[in-house]
Amino acid sequence: MNNLRKPQQVITPIIALISLLSILLTACGGGAAPATQAVSEATAAPTVAQPPAEGAPLQSIGEGEGEVSIVAWAGYIERGETDPAYDWVTEFEKATNCKVSVKVAATSDEMVALMNEGGFDLVTASGDASNRLISGGRVQEINIALIPSWSTVDPRLQNAPWHTVDGKHYGVPYQWGPNVLMYNTNAFPTPPDSWSVVFEEQTLGDGKSNKGRVQAYDGPIYVADAALYLKATRPELGIQDPYALNRDQFNAALDLLRQQRQLVARYWHDAFIQMDDFKNEGVVASSSWPFQVNLLQAEGQPIASVFPKEGVTGWADTTMMHVNAPHPNCAYKWLEHSLNPKLQGDLAAWFGSVPAVPAACEGNELLGPEGCKTNGLENFEKIAFWKTPTSDCGNGSMDCVPYHEWVTNYIAVIGGR
């Protein structure tokens, strides 16, 4: 178990992150295509709407093209193959004749890379990817007039800054939730109340050290988790926003992550591998998603989760449409379908997330009457939602560390440097 993260096992995520770096730099840089352009006045064909100019929103929805391809987080697009009770694809395909294909991505950086490659229609992007996709000209403005259920979206999400720029919407809210502290109840007879169990070497409730028994997320955005912990434990650093760090604050977060490196058994990004590590490899504590917690508990594993006292980071995911989506009509049909209260409630029950449509919290058999509350409905203001770090600190200062430096430095941390 202590050899879970051998040196050669570090190589794969490092190479993957290095290969993404040049893409990220391009996506974050200048020269992006205009967010909107004039829509062609050409008359649409009777059954299939004419595509608008690149980046401009569709003006009408025509007959579907027969398919739609979606880049998504694991567990986000289910057709009943894992559990027949969870299927929000089959009926959509029957109703629209749009066959759904899914490419699962394990990290936001992978999603950005896939959307830069093209060939996909939609992506369920978190806040640390969505603004990069917008500024990089990879997604198009959404015509919310073509989404009849838009008015049912949680008002806290309708104009959220991770998908709304200059009053223009570049996606449809999907789900949101926290990055929780998942733990093994045998190792913690008393639930942990602090992220210190994954950042600081210590003896756990079972009398054993946490060294080699914890995990950390395999993505540069995890620097924010370290910053959030330091915000609470080292107030002299003056951290206000874990995504807006000046050089001293950023260096302090890196020092904490290097310290954590001595404890980490594996840097996880695949939800199912993380679950296997908790079941078979002796891992007892890690940041995680409610998705893993729910599945492990359903298997009868001794697993629980908490919101530590320092707070949590989290994600608010948006379904965004590629600027050159090959199947725009089917894509818009899916965008509307994604707000269906039954889908929203079933997905929240499956993933452990909170629906973007509040009405989904009522009367859903799978979610239950307390499901949304259990998943964090009332904790929206307590979550530091993922967003892309930039040099703009948001207070008039341009001294914050931009995301591309988060990438290069986190690569070094994982590599033990």
Q: What is the CA radius of gyration of the chain?
A: 21
Helix, strand, coil percent values for the chain (each to nearest 5):
40, 15, 45
Q: Distance between CA 371 and CA 368 in Å, rounded?
A: 5
Q: Distance between CA 330 and CA 69 in Å, rounded?
A: 9
Q: What is the pTM of this model?
A: 0.80
The HSE-up count of residue 180 (CA atoms within 13 Å, CB side) is: 24
Q: What is the pLDDT of residue 395?
A: 84
> Which tokens sit at 56?
């401009």
Which own/partner pairs from 296-305 qualify as long-range (CB within 8 Å, at least 24 positions apart)?
296/182, 302/184, 302/185, 302/186, 303/182, 303/183, 303/184, 303/185, 303/278, 304/182, 304/183, 304/185, 304/191, 305/180, 305/181, 305/182, 305/183
**Across-strand partners of 173?**
318
Question: Taking the chain, what is the end-to-end CA distance rounded to the nearest angstrom?
Answer: 22
Query: Do the domains spanning 7-17+180-288+388-414 and 35-177+315-385 agree at the CATH topology level?
Result: yes
Does residue 131 sit in helix, strand or coil?
A: helix
- Hunting for tokens 């020269």 — which residue is that? 31
Number of residues written out for the chain: 417
Contact criterion met (CB below 8 Å) for 195 and 263: no
Does residue 171 sit in helix, strand or coil?
A: coil
Phi, psi of 169 (to 5 degrees): -95, 135
Phi, psi of 410 (to 5 degrees): -70, -35
Give me the tens of pLDDT residue by residue for the chain, a chain 417 residues long: 333 333 333 334 443 443 444 444 444 443 333 333 333 333 233 333 344 566 678 899 999 999 999 999 999 999 999 899 999 999 999 999 999 999 999 899 999 999 999 999 999 999 999 999 999 999 999 999 999 999 999 999 999 999 999 999 999 999 999 999 999 999 999 999 999 999 999 999 999 999 999 999 999 999 999 999 999 999 999 999 999 999 999 999 999 999 999 999 999 999 999 999 999 999 999 999 998 998 999 999 999 999 999 999 999 999 999 999 999 999 999 999 999 999 999 999 999 999 999 999 999 999 999 999 989 899 999 999 999 999 999 888 999 999 999 999 999 999 987
Q: Residue 21: exposed, middle, or buried by beta-carbon count in 10 A (0-12, 13-18, 19+)?
A: middle
- DSSP letters spanning 298-310: HTT-SEEEE--TT
> Which tokens sit at 318?
């948006």
Please report, for the chain, the start and end positions of each structural domain, with discontinuous segments joined by +: 7-17+180-288+388-414, 35-177+315-385
Q: What is the pLDDT of residue 54?
A: 64
Fold topology of 35-177+315-385: D-Maltodextrin-Binding Protein; domain 2 (3.40.190)
Q: Report how far apart, in Å, the C-alpha atoms of 335 and of each of 15, 42, 310, 339, 340 are.
A: 34, 25, 35, 7, 9
H runs (alpha helix) in 137-289: 155-158, 196-199, 223-233, 247-261, 271-280
Q: Does domain 7-17+180-288+388-414 have CATH number 3.30.70?
A: no
